Structure 1
Amino acid sequence: MVGSPDHKLDDEGLRDPVVRFQSYLHGGTSSLLSALPTFIVFPVYKTVFRQQLHNTPVHTAVAQLYKEGPLKLYRGVVPPLLMRTLNGTLLFGLQDTLLHQLTVSSHYPMPTSAMPALAGFGAGIVEAMVLTPLERVQNVLQNGQNDHRLPTLKSVLMRLKSQRLALGYYRAFLPITARNALGSSLYFGLKDPVCTVVAGQGLSPMISSFISGTLTSMAISLTLYPLSVLVANMQAQVGAEGKGVIACWRMLWTSRQRSVALLYRGGSLVILRSCITWGITTAIYDRQQKNSG
């Protein structure tokens, strides 16, 4: 791998740009290939969103979607498909780039084991800056209350454009940044150690990567789930009074009757989604990296 002591400096300088580009390419490819499961499980994701927004049990959320009909079932599917591809490209590519910079130019004593997590934290911040507008559009489209006022993607884009960034495209930017930065840091900090432990049980590298991605993403999703609920509630409405993060959190906590169980409503479906998407993404990415290494 580039940056290891086994490589000469000149050879490293020649190969670095190629290897860095491969990380972006492999991240985008793995996420693109996992877009099909994302499309298949989108009704599950939309069910979770309705639970997050309206604090309803799963059967009520499913009944809402059934009543709206199959034509509206996939309303809002385009942004998450784009986000999956961009997410993988940015997340894996930027993390690898930042990790390389930390490895070769760090002037401060830092444990090697902490570097992947720190690089992931930085990648998550950039990811939030790029993807927050897409998540905002996605949440507006998925809210059935907006169907009549904002019936098309174009109408949503125009409405958000007419508002200032903090209330329009970048609504809930701070909790998204916190969620993505912490999530990415945990993912890259835990992924390889968990994979090593799983591989030690005699499983193949592909299966080990899949299980590692699944277990890691499950833990992250459940830990940061309250932030996702907060983001969904902040972004679903358009034109409402722009309350701050703390005020929105207080309203959300009160609406959930100050109950952690109600706040985590829909969390079990997040596990299913994470198992399918991040497990596949991690396995494909690790395989591509190994084959090109």
Structure 2
Amino acid sequence: MGEQNHSPGNELQHRTRAEVPGKKSWHSQAYALGAVSNFMSTFLTFPIYKIVFRQQIHAMAVSEAVRQLWHEGPQYFYRGIYPPLLSKTLQGTLLFGTYDSLLCSLSPVGPHTLGHRWAAGLMSGVVEAVALSPFERVQNVLQDGRKQARFPSTFSILKEFNSYGLWGRLSLGYYRGFWPVLARNSLGSALYFSFKDPIQDGLAEQGLPYWVPALVSGSVNGTITCLVLYPLIVLVANMQSHIGWQNMPSLWASAQDVWNTRGRKLLLIYRGGSLVILRSSVTWGLTTAIHDFLQRKSRSRKEVKTD
């Protein structure tokens, strides 16, 4: 643990903060990095995500999901992309910025232990879930092909939610499926930030180009985190696809329904998991690499100004 705390990646992080005490420029750059990288990754990987979503809802093979989208027509292929573009941009902003702020609060001068990284990641995931769950809810309704006629646009879904009472807007509308979202996001953030630096620092010691450890670290973390939490991802997709005032199944009933419709087999729960893992690996690999690159550029500019 001591070696990890003083590793190259953490040393860069500590020195950057120490050079500009009280200033927000580094933090602003981290917020901007998360926004831009997540926006780009979401746009590039959205077709994969939509195929995966159809698998999660209908328990179909990849070829069947692709054929279903093809029959619907190309005009619907990017249907539902606006909510994830906005939510993922905000997600990157909140995730990296909030994590860094919380980590500084827990350990202002460092070194940052595994416990510090885990706690900051967990809390940043909670903030992310509270802020972004409504976006994911709208996105999942839009991507469900069974609801295209009734809800042809984002506005039609918002109109439906806003027709409910205050509690209905929250429990049946914007925050439907919130508890599994909270568990997924908080645990996912904690896992990602806890093991990102150790993996990256271990690879950096092998003399690889500086961007390779960051890319591999993000990809590995994204893959492992997605693999562990995939059942929650499926549960969220199924819960958030329900809409209306009809009797919605509870969290436990929804989990039982997913388990039963998948033939009570874990393998069928993970149907579509390969594409989810691929998308997660690409997304988090790019995000981590870009974040590390901008962090290094920021440090270089400060050193030049100091000299």
Task: Please indicate, yes or no, whether the TM-score normalized by the shorter chain is above 0.5.
Answer: yes
Q: Give the equivalent residue in structure 2 for 1:187.
A: 192
Aligned-pair distance for 1:111? Answer: 7.4
Q: Which amino acid aligns with 1:82?
A: L
In the alignment, does 2:58 pair up with 1:58? Answer: no
- Structure 1 counterpart SS, 2:206: coil
1:242 alignment partner, one of 229, 243, 248:
248
Taking the TM superposition and a 5 Å limit, the aligned residue runs for 1:244-259 are 244-259=250-265
In the alignment, does 2:167 pair up with 1:166? Answer: no
Q: Give the equivalent residue in structure 2 for 1:121.
A: 122
Q: Give the equivalent residue in structure 1 for 2:282.
A: 276
Q: Give the equivalent residue in structure 1 for 2:137.
A: 136
Q: Give the equivalent residue in structure 1 for 2:82.
A: 78
Deviation by residue 1:45-100 (Cα, 9 ceiling, x = unmatched): 11100110011111111111111011111110111111221111000000000000
Q: Which amino acid aligns with 1:141?
A: L
CA distance in 2, matches of 1:38, 1:46: 11
Query: Contact conserved, 1:221 with 1:271, CA < 8 A, in 2?
Result: yes
Normalised by the length of structure 1, the TM-score is 0.91
Query: Contact conserved, 1:2 with 1:19, CA < 8 A, in 2?
Result: no
- Structure 2 counterpart SS, 1:243: coil
Taking the TM superposition and a 5 Å limit, the aligned residue runs for 1:1-293 are 7=18, 12=21, 14-15=22-23, 17-32=24-39, 35=40, 37-104=41-108, 112-163=113-164, 164=168, 165-239=170-244, 240-293=246-299
Q: Which amino acid aligns with 2:145?
A: G
Unpaired stretches in structure 2, ≥5 consecutive residues: 1-11, 300-307
Aligned-pair distance for 1:268? Answer: 0.3
Aligned-pair distance for 1:113? Answer: 2.4
Q: Which amino acid aligns with 1:124?
A: G
Aligned-pair distance for 1:7? Answer: 4.5
CA distance in 2, matches of 1:134, 1:206: 32
Query: Contact conserved, 2:242 with 2:248, CA < 8 A, in 1?
Result: no
Unpaired stretches in structure 1, ≥5 consecutive residues: none
The percent of aligned pairs where both chains have the same amino acid is 46
Change (3 A) 1:281 1:7: closer
Aligned-pair distance for 1:185? Answer: 0.2
Deviation by residue 1:244-284 (Cα, 9 ceiling, x = unmatched): 21111011111111100000000000121112211111100
Deviates most, 127-136 or 75-84: 75-84
Aligned-pair distance for 1:25? Answer: 2.3
Normalised by the length of structure 2, the TM-score is 0.87
CA distance in 1, matches of 2:37, 2:48: 21
CA distance in 1, matches of 2:147, 2:160: 12
Q: Which amino acid aligns with 1:175?
A: P
Q: How much is the aligned-residue C-alpha RMSD, in angstroms? A: 2.1
- Structure 1 counterpart SS, 2:174: coil
Query: Contact conserved, 1:3 with 1:104, CA < 8 A, in 2?
Result: no
Query: Contact conserved, 2:14 with 2:109, CA < 8 A, in 1?
Result: no
Q: Return structure 1 stretches of 4+ with deviation > 4 angstroms.
A: 1-4
CA distance in 2, matches of 1:225, 1:166: 23
CA distance in 1, matches of 2:174, 2:163: 10
CA distance in 2, matches of 1:205, 1:248: 45
